[in-house]
Amino acid sequence: MAKSKYPDLKTALLSNIEVDPNTGCWNWQKSVVQNKGYGRLTFKKKEYHVHRLSYELFRGEIKDGLFVCHKCNNPRCCNPDHLYLGTHYDNMQDRKRSGGYDKNPKEKLNPAICKGIRELNKLGKSVKEINGITGFGKTTINRVLKNERYPDKNFVWKKSRADNLTENQVTKIRELHDAGHQNHEICRIMGIKARRVADILKNINYKDSDYDVTWIPEPGKSAARSK
């Protein structure tokens, strides 16, 4: 066999794509993996899945437990901008999806998924973002990140800014409450969900031993929720 006609992987990849002017997809022109439709490239006797290769070449490392998924739902595409890291669940969705996201996965947690969720956290994704990516509920994700499900003793939850309030925000919330603002007003002023505000005012979250709890539930939703 003659040696590869391309000097490196990047050239091999870029020499065999056709860019779709409408979608921007980089469509792989050579062979694809049977049943899955991913582009396949053999270079120096090694076989690559083209979308994974593209992600590694142009975006960066693919951490263990994560999959490279397509935003464009076109398995042949290897445009790095159309690719994102997700869990096994995303990948399955990716393959059967034909429109919106199914936000209520029936899939149960397993060690691989927990690992994927933790990897997304290490990449700096907030719980909300992980929810959007994986479809798992925020409560479930919180449990995984708190190491309550399939614990990984080396994992420490790195809270992203979106998950954390600053000390100033917490103080401000308590001050607004002391100044007589209703809970829903505090939510609006601070742009924070009712339950989070309530947990701060109940001194459950961001506990401060000097804080006197004077929180009372508002009539309506929050009253029904608090027993």
- Whose tokens are 């001050």? That residue is 175
Question: Does residue 76 interact with Zn ion by CB under 5 A?
Answer: no
Question: Does residue 51 interact with Zn ion by CB under 5 A?
Answer: no
Question: Does residue 74 interact with Zn ion by CB under 5 A?
Answer: yes
Find the shortest distance in angstroms from Cβ 121 to Zn ion: 27
Question: Does residue 72 interact with Zn ion by CB under 5 A?
Answer: yes
- Burial (0-12, 13-18, 19+ Cβ within 10 Å), 25: buried
CA distances (Å), origin 190, targets 136, 169, 184, 207, 211: 26, 8, 10, 19, 20
User: Cβ contacts of residue 176 below 8 Å, gap of 6+?
Assistant: 185, 186, 189, 190
Kindly tell me which of 20 and 129 has the beta carbon lying closer to Zn ion. 20
Q: Provide the CA 103 distance to its chain's centre, in angstroms.
A: 13
Site for Zn ion in 153-182 (CB under 5 A): none
Question: Does residue 77 interact with Zn ion by CB under 5 A?
Answer: yes
* Count of positions on this chain that bind Zn ion (CB under 5 A): 6
Question: Does residue 59 interact with Zn ion by CB under 5 A?
Answer: no
Residue 139 belongs to what H/E stretch?
helix 138-145
Residues 21-50, one symbol each (x = binds Zn ion by CB under 5 A, - = not), give ----x-------------------------
Question: Does residue 83 interact with Zn ion by CB under 5 A?
Answer: no
Enumerate binding residues for Zn ion (CB under 5 A).
25, 72, 74, 77, 79, 82
